[in-house]
Amino acid sequence: MKKVKNLTENKIIVIAGPTAVGKTALSIDIARKYDGEIINGDSQQVYRDVHIGTAKATESEQAAVPHHLIDVRDLTETFSAHDFVSEANTAIADILSRGKLPIIVGGTGLYLQSLIEGYHLGGAGHHEEMRALRQELETLSDAQLFDKVADLELEIPELNHRRAIRALEIAKFGEDLENHKSDKAFLIIGLNTARPVLYERINQRVDLMMAVGLLDEAKMLYDQFSTAQVSRAIGYKEFFPYFDGQMTLEAAVEAVKQNSRRYSKRQITWFKNRMAVDFQDILAPDFQEQVDQKIEGFLDDKN
């Protein structure tokens, strides 16, 4: 385990990237090197009794390094960005209080952005309204957003798409949404690789999931929890037409692969455009060296 000269009480590592890129393996490696504990940042891994389609860390991986926010909800319950921010902050405080390094790992961009930038902290009661407003604003062009900002006479330095949406959210829901920005320092490590390579990793992972029981897991949801939030996730919902006799199993598996590939593209776009993530190519010869340099520089920094 590496010793860090200046591990302060406010530093957090975030590992972000598309599905199947290797976030789990890297997070465990980092946790072992720097005495860390892992916080799940994926919207589906919070649910109990679904392990294959949600791509949770294995039992042995979870035994090797403490994990948080995995298996914290029953299948009948919901989980929101507001819930994630609240419970992740509790886990962060606990980990830091014991002198450990929090490592947040996930591909749910809204959750990570919400934690880092303070979104959705005005209270759970606002969550659905805020989500509806966000969806509406996301359909607008930059020019339309900027016109709305101008109409409200909002002053925004270096106006861009993201800041315009944020300002309009605050204007609607009040100042309580902007006074909860995290006082922690975050280092975001983005993982990516060439698209054909990533797509092949996704296809192979789906095949592996099928081999170890994904279909049985999907059938359990179909039979008992068809309206649950997790049942709408990629990797489960594609099998429902098959169970209804409307699609072949081969077509359902291909739908899982296709939707997973499309989702990976959306994840990358989110992290690039919303969070300005600087991606590292997982297949670069100096990948591990670059990651270690970033982490050690971040942890050694006295600011």
Model confidence at 154: pLDDT above 90: no
Q: What is the residue whose two structure tokens read 């199947």?
A: 20
- Highest mean pLDDT (candidates 81-85, 121-125, 180-184): 81-85
* Model pLDDT, residue 2: 62
* Span 119-146, pLDDT tens digits: 644 444 555 666 677 778 888 888 888 8
DSSP class per residue in the chain: ----TT--TTEEEEEE--TTSSHHHHHHHHHHHHTEEEEE--SSTTBTT--TTTTPPPHHHHHHS-EESSS-B-TTS---HHHHHHHHHHHHHHHHHTTPEEEEEES-HHHHHHHHHTTT-S-GGGHHHHHHHHHHHHTS-HHHHHHHHHHTT---TT--HHHHHHHHHHHHH-GGGSS----SEEEEEEEE--HHHHHHHHHHHHHHHHHTTHHHHHHHHHHH-TTSGGGGSTTTGGGHHHHTTSS-HHHHHHHHHHHHHHHHHHHHHHHHHHH---EEETTSTTHHHHHHHHHHHHHH---
d(CA 294, CA 298): 6
Helix axes 195-211, 214-224, angle to 10 degrees: 70
Q: Once rounded to an integer, what is the mean pLDDT over residues 223-232?
A: 94
* Model pLDDT, residue 173: 63
Q: How far is residue 232 CA from its own chain's centroid?
A: 17
Q: Model-level pTM?
A: 0.81
* Model pLDDT, residue 34: 95
* Model pLDDT, residue 167: 76
Model confidence at 248: pLDDT above 90: yes
**pLDDT band, very low/low/confident/very high, at 92 (cuts 50, 70, 90):** very high
Percent of the chain with pLDDT over 90: 66
* Model pLDDT, residue 5: 44
If phi > 0 it is left, if psi is from -120 to 50 it is alpha, else beta; for residue 245 that is left
Model confidence at 178: pLDDT above 70: no
Model confidence at 172: pLDDT above 50: yes
* Model pLDDT, residue 257: 98
Sheet strands side by side (includes 279-281): 67-68, 36-40, 101-106, 11-16, 185-192, 279-281
- Highest mean pLDDT (candidates 77-91, 96-110, 180-194): 96-110
Q: Once rounded to an integer, what is the mean pLDDT over residues 78-88?
A: 89
Q: Is 54 annotated as a binding residue?
A: no
Q: Which residues contact 179 (CB under 8 A, 6 or more apart)?
A: none
**pLDDT band, very low/low/confident/very high, at 262 (cuts 50, 70, 90):** very high
Task: Decide: 34 and 101 in contact? Cβ < 8 Å.
Answer: yes
Q: Is 5 annotated as a binding residue?
A: no
**pLDDT band, very low/low/confident/very high, at 166 (cuts 50, 70, 90):** confident
Q: Is 46 annotated as a binding residue?
A: no
* Model pLDDT, residue 8: 52
Q: Is 230 annotated as a binding residue?
A: no
d(CA 198, CA 259): 13
Model confidence at 168: pLDDT above 90: no
Q: What is the residue whose two structure tokens read 């042995």?
A: 60
Q: Which candidate, 138, 82, 71, 139, places its Cα nearest to that of 110?
A: 82
Model confidence at 163: pLDDT above 70: yes
Percent of the chain with pLDDT over 70: 86
Q: Is 58 annotated as a binding residue?
A: no
Q: Is 20 annotated as a binding residue?
A: yes
* Model pLDDT, residue 118: 72
**pLDDT band, very low/low/confident/very high, at 3 (cuts 50, 70, 90):** low
CB atoms near residue 154 (< 10 Å): 15
* Model pLDDT, residue 121: 47
Model confidence at 188: pLDDT above 90: yes
* Model pLDDT, residue 114: 86
d(CA 254, CA 260): 10
Q: Is 157 annotated as a binding residue?
A: no
DSSP class per residue in 37-75: EEEE--SSTTBTT--TTTTPPPHHHHHHS-EESSS-B-T
Q: Is 22 annotated as a binding residue?
A: yes
